[in-house]
Structure 1
Amino acid sequence: MKFAFLTDPLSQFKTYKDSTFAMMREASQRGHEIYAFGPDDLALDQGVVFARISKITLTGDAHDWYRAEEAVNCRLGDFDAVLQRKDPPFDMEYVYATYLLDLAAQQGTRVFNKPSAIRDHNEKLAIAQFSQFTAPTLVTRDEQRIRAFHKTHQEIILKPLDGMGGAGIFRVGADGMNLGSMIETLTHNGTRTIMAQRYIPDIVHGDKRILLIGGKVVPFSLARIPQNGEVRGNLAAGGVGVAQELSARDLEIAETLAPILYQRGLLLVGLDVIGSYLTEVNVTSPTCFQEIMQQKGFNVAGMFIDALEAAIR
């Protein structure tokens, strides 16, 4: 089969931990052909979606890890699957790319995750569809509502709706120190909507990434544990990842959401769970494949390629 990955530049990959690389390596080992392109390579020409796409050969070298053939203008429909693995920011250029991928899907291209499902599941707001699993949450741009929420819950977290990797996340203590400044900064003086959540003390034990693949649950999570006084466990923010078995509550959340999200066209989902609470539903480019494989020996990439092969048969 021929798999085309829509990704960030390959030169930026950190192959020792990159989940997209793990997917490519697993697919290549099975004899599939690997291709790569970026969002700037996409084009709609006379109603047909094309992209300048390079065939990729993996070298096995940790540093000089791939060889790319000269890019060729191809119909996306020429591939057995297109995998959307571009990281946020989820800006309008990202949205435009999903529109083009939607058109390609209408022309017969199998795109994972489903582009419209990515748009429909904002990674912060999607938790509102599963409120039985969430801590008290407020979404607003109104300062007075945020202040009232803080007064009720004392310790809260504020975060933007379009961030990734822990960017822009603030903890507000019971004293409300700098609350006004944080609200002004995050809402851009009341012009941008943000999320407030009751602070969950269990963050000290890690922000757990639970992976759902093909409607099934990966049996291990990666608890990303904050370091050096940080409130953020994200690996990009310096957190340390510890793979661990799922708790009964983790399983309850994951097994409830897995079939629902799969039916919506989301082959791969990364749930974020702190303590007993669902905090995010990641659908753009979920990670943590390699950390779980390295620590627990569970082949997450193998499970993913199994699900991908089954989905396109």
Structure 2
Amino acid sequence: MKICFVLNDVHEENYNSSVVLMHNAHQRGHTVLMMDVGDFNFTHNEPLSIHVLQVPKSIKTKSAKKFIEDIKKANLKKKKMSSKNVDVLFIRNNPTEEVDRQWAEHAGIAFGKMMQQEGVLVLNDAYALSHAYIDKLYFEELPSSIKPDSIITRKKEEILEFFEKQNKKMVLKPLEGSGGKDVYLIDENEKNLNQIIETLLNQGYVIAQEFLPDVSKGDVRILLMNGRLMERNGKHSMIRRKMGKGEFRSNFSQGATAQAVELTKDFEKIIEVVAPKLIQDGLFFVGLDVVKDKLIEINVLSPGGLNYFSEIDHPDFGNEIIDAIERKLNYKEMYGHELSNKVLATME
């Protein structure tokens, strides 16, 4: 198959989950294409065209980290091709990283919809991504039984009222953002509360969320495919993110370290509750962030973590994901237009 990965910037790509997936696809003999979110071209009455880097078959390495290094060393040139020549478009660009390029935030999803209409298998389903674009808002569509108390508002008085109800301890964060940026733990000793609230409100909507004491042990990133936990040789697609000293955020980008974690009844319940919605909505590959028995965030746009599994002696699960994509293409070939992209996206 020809599988194309939409990235923020192919020349800035480093070892991450997207690279793990590209490496696995390449090792299995598939044609791997890489493109920037700005590499789509539209001409009226013609299929979309895209500018892509094609990973040469001559690049052979067992290490995903060296794989991306070798791609950069190869000094590849982009070539123009029709979207009709692509079997799969995997939308992996992260809009929250586009601080200075507002035009790029929605482009991957918007053009992904068009390629989907042209018959290309798009993952995650582009219409599902559009619906869940503000993933912290999509999170609020999930049942309250598995979530901490929270409010989303642009009213300072609402935040302060929530603070009082939570016994003067809460987490504040922007509605749109990722990587733990601008996330604050607020308690009764916080002297800059008004300033912090004003700073966040200047960015847009704010989430005030119940503080969970168990966050001191770190959170657990659970990666789901087709709404299911991946497993190989008794090891599951879960990893604990233990925060650094003096830090309450568990993001790897904020210095968290990886630890192995056992599957618990609480985790199983959260997956059981979340899975039906993910499957219904066409969200193929999703990350859940969990603290004990509560889901604190859901990541649908560009979930990561695969590149950290080697640190805890786990498989990276890239083969399982590429396996699933191959099956989806087989179903698409057998059934044609009888199966929508949304159905195919989460079909086992």
Q: CA deviation at 1:6?
A: 0.6
Change (3 A) 1:297 1:231: closer
Q: What is the DSSP-based 3-state SS (H/G/I as helix, E as strand, rest coil) of the residue aligned with 1:195?
A: strand
2:82 maps to 1:75: yes
Which of 137, 140, 143 does residue 153 from structure 2 map onto?
140
In the other structure, the counterpart of 2:91 is 84
The one-letter code of the counterpart of 1:194 is V
* Preserved CA contact (<8 Å) 1:166 1:236: yes
In the other structure, the counterpart of 1:168 is 182
The one-letter code of the counterpart of 1:185 is T
Give a deviation string over 1:193-219, Cα, whole Å, max 9, x none.
111101111111112110001221132
* Structure 1: runs of 5 or more not aligned: none
2:44 maps to 1:49: no
Q: CA deviation at 1:293?
A: 4.1
Give a deviation string over 1:253-305, Cα, whole Å, max 9, x none.
11322242133111100001112111111011111113224424334111111
Change (3 A) 1:305 1:116: same
In the other structure, the counterpart of 2:333 is none
CA–CA distance in 2 between the matches of 1:264 and 1:293? Answer: 31
Q: CA deviation at 1:4?
A: 0.5
CA–CA distance in 1 between the matches of 2:316 and 2:175? Answer: 32
Q: What is the DSSP-based 3-state SS (H/G/I as helix, E as strand, rest coil) of the residue aligned with 2:273?
A: helix
What root-mean-square deviation, in Å, do the aligned CA atoms of Structure 1 and Structure 2 show? 1.8
* Preserved CA contact (<8 Å) 2:243 2:256: yes
* Preserved CA contact (<8 Å) 2:171 2:183: yes
Which of 94, 99, 103 does residue 105 from structure 2 map onto?
94
TM-score, structure 2 normalization: 0.84
CA–CA distance in 2 between the matches of 1:51 and 1:213? Answer: 27
* Structure 2: runs of 5 or more not aligned: 231-235, 331-348
Q: CA deviation at 1:176?
A: 4.4
Which of 213, 216, 221 does residue 209 from structure 1 map onto?
221
Matching of residues 158-307 of structure 1 within 5 Å: 158-188=172-202, 192-218=204-230, 219-307=236-324
Which of 19, 23, 34 does residue 25 from structure 1 map onto?
23
TM-score, structure 1 normalization: 0.93
Give a deviation string over 1:209-261, Cα, whole Å, max 9, x none.
10001221132411111112111110001111212122111111113222421
In the other structure, the counterpart of 1:35 is 33
CA–CA distance in 1 between the matches of 2:22 and 2:317? Answer: 12
Comparing both structures, which one devotes a greater share of its residues to strand? 1
2:321 maps to 1:308: no
* Preserved CA contact (<8 Å) 1:290 1:300: no
CA–CA distance in 1 between the matches of 2:255 and 2:135? Answer: 21
The one-letter code of the counterpart of 1:19 is S
Q: What is the DSSP-based 3-state SS (H/G/I as helix, E as strand, rest coil) of the residue aligned with 2:95?
A: coil
Change (3 A) 1:248 1:68: farther
Number of residues of Structure 1 aligned to a counterpart in Structure 2:
309
Paired-residue identity, %: 27
CA–CA distance in 1 between the matches of 2:192 and 2:176? Answer: 22
* Preserved CA contact (<8 Å) 2:173 2:207: yes
In the other structure, the counterpart of 2:9 is 9
Give a deviation string over 1:159-200, Cα, whole Å, max 9, x none.
011111101101111244211111100001xx7211110111
Give a deviation string over 1:50-104, Cα, whole Å, max 9, x none.
2111111344372732136432222223111011111231755321331111011
* Preserved CA contact (<8 Å) 2:146 2:295: yes
* Preserved CA contact (<8 Å) 2:258 2:312: no
The one-letter code of the counterpart of 2:264 is S
Q: What is the DSSP-based 3-state SS (H/G/I as helix, E as strand, rest coil) of the residue aligned with 2:194?
A: helix
The one-letter code of the counterpart of 2:321 is F
